[in-house]
Amino acid sequence: MGEHPLTGRTVLVTGASSGIGRACAEAFADAGCRLLLLARRGERLAELVDALRARGAEAHARVCDVRRLAEVEAALAELPDGWEGVDVLVNNAGLSRGLAPVHEGDVHDWEEMIDTNVKGLLHVTRVVLPGMVARGSGHVVQIGSIAGREVYPNGNVYCATKHAVDAITKGLRLDLCGTGVRVSTVDPGLVETEFSVVRFHGDEERARSVYRGMTPLTGADVADAVLWVVSRPPHVQVAEVLLLPADQASSTRVHRRDETAP
């Protein structure tokens, strides 16, 4: 077997402490990349760094809330020598909060989603991109969502944030055309992670019911798609991947074997 085409690349994954972000970190590590990991939960990141190093990868973590530009700037300013040039940015950090009609929605939930999914993604992108443009190479991969392509009942603000990610992604691709920096989005349907536990503020039973009777994607399935996108030859730009479970056809059409499921 030859060397993996991504060997030696520096990959920055936001939201690496859980779910899709953690799976991406593991997949890139196994492809020979070195990892820069951001999230708020430092203990989780430290455990992941140990696990990646045990697999033979180089990894560093920075505790950082992407909602705060100053924290993002500080996290990426204090890097070991030689780690400044990020080759691949995986903009994964994000969350949903609540599932309610707008007239009953919680304004704090809305602010958290908008600040994280839209402003947080922009903060990290703004800090990382100038280096990529200066070097004439790099790849930005957004973890968007089917919610950025369809709006489902009570998903209003979360869907709006993912539609905003879609617009930012398209804008980036226009702005960066000719710079050597590629922009892709991987848009999953239902993935069983901590996503629904976070959405329902810790209600694990309600979170489990989201995936009842169907087989959701795993974080590793999404990471697999991200790795495929990033390992195309430099002249190939995969613009968009919509990745669905076989049991899902749209946001609202999900096949469930358990007819009593919601």
Catalytic residues: 158
Q: Minimum Å distance from CB 208 to ligand NDP?
A: 13
Which C-beta is closer to ligand 8X3: that of 9 or that of 199?
Answer: 199
Q: Does residue 245 bind ligand NDP (CB under 6 A)? A: no
Residues β-bridged to residue 140: 89, 183
Q: Which one of ligand 8X3, ligand NDP, none is in contact with 20 (Cβ closer than 5 to 8 A by kind)?
A: ligand NDP
Pairing of strands 181-188, 240-243: parallel
The footprint of ligand 8X3 on residues 240-259 (CB under 6 A) is 251
Q: Minimum Å distance from CB 155 to ligand 8X3?
A: 6
Q: Does residue 145 bind ligand 8X3 (CB under 6 A)? A: yes
Q: Which one of ligand NDP, ligand 8X3, none is in contact with 4 (Cβ closer than 5 to 8 A by kind)?
A: none
Interacting residues toward ligand NDP by CB under 6 A? 14-21, 38-41, 44, 65-67, 92-95, 116, 120, 143, 145, 188, 190-191, 193-195, 198, 219
